[in-house]
Amino acid sequence: MDFDMLGLQPRLVAKLAEQGITAPTPIQTQAIPHAMNGRDVMGLAQTGSGKTAAFGLPMVDALMKAGVRPNPKCANALVLAPTRELAKQIADNLTAYTGGSHLKVALVVGGAGIVGQMKRLEKGVDLLVATPGRLIDLLDRRAVRLNETRFLVLDEADQMLDMGFIHALRRIAPLLPANRQTMLFSATMPKQMAELAEAYLTDAIRVQVNAPGKPVEAISQSVHFVAQAAKFDLLVDLLDAHRDELALVFGRTKHGMEKLSKQLAAKGFAVVAIHGNKSQGQRDRAIADFKAGRVRVLVATDVAARGLDIPDVRHVYNYELPNVPENYVHRIGRTARAGADGAAIAFCAPDEMQDLRDIQKAMKADIPVASGRPWEGEGTDKKRPNGGNGGGRRRFGGGQGGGKPAASAKPAGQRRRSGGGNRARSNGRAA
């Protein structure tokens, strides 16, 4: 199977070949022909599956064929992404596909000057990649109109649910023509996603490469049962054992991760942290340094690292388990990209037992134990030493074997665990 068999025009196929992209990935094989036929697409695929090309190529192909210049302040296609980094990555990919054609790609995200972005939009663009907040700003300033936008993509849509972008979407979507083509891509399929698809897609074809919530098979997973206070030394040992390889370390809170990165630096690791308190420039630099191998350990919170395409990460450490099970899948999806092998190593402290159970339940599989034993008696009333600041997670009741997960009608990020316990509750803000 190659790209011209999917119906893409020869010059686009040639452009891809220049970038070493010759054989479509499974999600591309499944999605592209339908998208080229104008169908709405709901794609269940993780970062690393080639999903950007799966939605990007059909749009680029259609816009190349149409050959219509955009009207002033209009965008012919709109891609919404939850984070600035992901939006930039998508814009970079689209720019690579469109190189040498008349098509113009623009990126509008927060953290960068709005005036320059307004200028860029003045003459209109073919493909606009945006984070929802900045797009709304630009709409409010009448710098852009969406009434001629024929393609809408919602990428990493599950993350958008987590981040409350649903409200933004409610404002943005009605501004587009009803007869647009809409594509929604998501790594997981929480119940709310079906509602989102129902609201914004029409007669969508559903494509998927991995079972929902099931990580790619090339990742070897393991869990260490380790007390919070012993996690740091274990991490240092494991990082030491793979000195030459890139490692990504996930935790929950900005402060906790900042502190961890300083502690690792003090141990001589070339390390950098990305989280919500870092400026856009610092985040971009950190990722560029990591990709180039100038730093070897990237410490991150979920939001900061979401959707990043970092090809050579061999080890992903869950220094703290995410309290949203879907985020575990997202985190470990950072490794084993493009068919490479990768390892996902989780650290589970006593008060993370319920998080671990939730993750295993969502994946319908147990994570093999690397050291220690599952904690017993978890669920007693105690505070959790959490990366130094005690914050960053929401704990709601749930004694041992007690509280069932609450019905997931709420966005994953807002889900509460119900149950009879009276655990300490901390309300630190994650990421």
Q: Which residues bind ligand AMP (CB under 6 A)?
A: 21, 23-25, 28, 47-53, 309, 338
The whole-angstrom separation of Cα 127 and Cα 95 is 9
Closer residue to ligand AMP (CB): 50 or 213: 50
Q: Which is nearer to ligand AMP, 47 or 327 (CB)?
A: 47
Closest CB 200 distance from ligand AMP, rounded Å:
21
CB of 420 to ligand AMP, least distance (A): 42
Return the number of the residue (156 or 162) whose C-beta is nearest ligand AMP.
156
Closest CB 202 distance from ligand AMP, rounded Å: 24
Tell me the two tokens of residue 350: 């006593």
3-state secondary structure the chain: CCHHHHCCCHHHHHHHHHCCCCCCCHHHHHHHHHHHCCCCEEEECCCCCCHHHHHHHHHHHHHHHHCCCCCCCEEEEEEECCCHHHHHHHHHHHHHHHCCCCCCEEEECCCCCHHHHHHHHHCCEEEEEECHHHHHHHHHCCCCECCCCCEEEECCHHHHHHCCCHHHHHHHHHHCCCCCEEEEEECCCCHHHHHHHHHHCCCCEEEECCCCCCCCCCEEEEEEECCHHHHHHHHHHHHHHCCCCEEEEECCEHHHHHHHHHHHHHCCCCEEEECCCCCHHHHHHHHHHHHCCCCCEEEECHHHHCCCCCCCEEEEEECCCCCCHHHHHHHHCCCCHHHCCEEEEEEECHHHHHHHHHHHHHHCCCCCEEECCCCCCCCCCCCCCCCCCCCCCCCCCCCCCCCCECCCCCCHHHCCECCCCCCCCCCCCEC
Residue among 138 and 248 whose Cβ is closer to ligand AMP: 248
| Closest to ligand AMP by CB, 21 or 353 | 21
Minimum distance of ligand AMP from residue 348's CB (angstroms):
29
Q: How far is the CB of 24 from ligand AMP (least distance, A)?
A: 5
In the bound complex, what is the minimum distance in angstroms from residue 56's beta carbon to ligand AMP?
A: 8
Shortest spacing between CB 406 and ligand AMP, in angstroms:
32
Output 21 or 345, the one with its CB closest to ligand AMP: 21
Q: How far is the CB of 204 from ligand AMP (least distance, A)?
A: 19
Least distance between ligand AMP and beta carbon 340 (Å): 11
Task: Please identify, using beta-carbon distances, which residue of 51 and 417 lies nearer to ligand AMP.
Answer: 51
Question: Judged by CB, which is closer to ligand AMP: 25, or 76?
Answer: 25
* Residue number with CB closer to ligand AMP (3 or 225): 3
